[in-house]
Structure 1
Amino acid sequence: MQVTIKDDFDLEKIIDSGQCFRGKCLEDGSYRFISGESVIYLRPEDREAGVYTVSCDRESWETTWFPFFDLERCYSEIAVLESGKHEFVDQAIAHGRGVRLLRQDPWEMLLTFIISQRKSIPAIIKSVEALSEKYGHDIVTEQERLKAFPSPEEMKEATAEELAACGLGYRVKYILDAIQKVNSGELNLKAIAKLPDDVLLEKLQAVMGVGIKVANCIALFAYGRTACVPVDVWIFRAIEKECGGISPFSLYGENAGIIQQYIFYYERGVIGRKD
């Protein structure tokens, strides 16, 4: 099936934007994404016109992948609306156009961003795949056999030794705490979706090892809270070096989290490589 996306949409940039760790560009030029039990392969046919061949049917595209890629939101309009407020941010927006926020599974984001602390992106990917291989169940497509990211139930009996073998280091105790809290119902990841941003962030930080940065990552990438701004090493660096130590995010209101993604992509991919 073919789809036409008439908005900013760049799969390479999305994969390289530090928000998802299971998206992949394959040797044949197509792109693969996994969401829960679902897998999609997208092949660009006409990038200028936004035409892609996708491996799913119309119903799956509309119910699973349209929301996953946040296609109900017009990013080209946001880029125009938010330009002209800050010189450096304007550069980041121009360079990052094509990045979109993915709406990912809250449990996967909780564990992934606990793992992400003090790890490079390749190391995060390695640990996420190790967890999936160890605890996840098979997903078989026409192209390959994959592993789903494991559910809380599938990880219920995980041991510290097994998790350490997945390269989690000091984060093992944090992952065990997340498993316990979610399986016991102490943290209901579905129920907290209804909470306002500040309360949502507070609930997420009840998990051992989840500070404000990780909580903001989960809020932004799992719950679509676009006013939330995770400040990692790249964003901190951008604020200090490119913005004179003054955070620009108050200028962008409900779009601040989207602007954060443009800045992350630009700072890490362009500014960081110059130094």
Structure 2
Amino acid sequence: MNVAAGSATVVHRGQPVRIAVRTPSHGVCLAEVRYSDGATQDSGVKSPRAGSVSWTFRAPTNATLGAARWTVRCGVTWQRSGAWRAAALKGGDVPSAAPVVMIEKEGYSQRPDSYSTGSAVSYGLILKNTSTKEDAKDVYVLINFASANGELIGTVTKSVKLVSAGGTYALGDSVQMRTQVPGTKLEVTVKVTAHEPTKATPLPHFANVRIEPSQTDTGFVGEVDGEIVNDTSKQTLTLASISIVLLDATGKIVGGGTGISFSPLPSGSRMVFLAQTGFSAVGLDQAVTPLVSVEPTYQSG
């Protein structure tokens, strides 16, 4: 299915769709598709060739039905947009295919350094696997921070081992910028490098999770504490890599961070965890709700 600027058409769930535009811009271009529930698919950046640029997306197999809007931005000011209608596949369910992982939410806080010309950024993303049949594995995430003039001021890459079918993953962390120029937009590229039919995966639960103030930096978040509970596996939990996203009172993402637990946790037991990395740019009055995801390692015993 081809979609050109100014056209409107129907795209069925699971169907590949190509967005192509002509542009006078010589800057790099980025395409985004936004579905009616707010979920987005972002392309990688491309440079126009002979005044043309295109991308191919695959509509998620459970994309929200109804209007979907696409936007292409090139350089600082050039932009084109259009729409299609997301529809159910004719003839029944979509055969199993590579899952699509979308960005359900994104956000960050940036704080200028007091000791240098740089700044600290605490960020968070909610990754959503739109497939109900395939687990997304080894998900590569490229995050660019862009200024108002379109110039990149920072880049970070992350890898998520598993986003389960129909599930979400709260990806939070921080990055140190070499500038105090404010970021105005995230450009996120997600690539699923492996997948397999969904299967039950034990994950520990979290309880009594709370946001704590910094003891040395008044007015900012210092850490996120709580309890990790090994109640879904008969094996000992030997390592837990914890990822946290912070929301404000309206549900907007204001940052994120990480923690790690090395102490063995036998089945049926619980212990305190401390996540103390990545939150220093987040104002304490802004952070209200922590979302926690984990990558566990188990060992028999």
TM-score under structure 2 length normalisation: 0.29
Answer 1 or 2: which has greater helix percent: 1
Answer 1 or 2: which has greater strand percent: 2
Larger Rg: 2
Q: Which has the higher contact order (CA 8 A, sep 6+)?
A: 1
TM-score under structure 1 length normalisation: 0.30
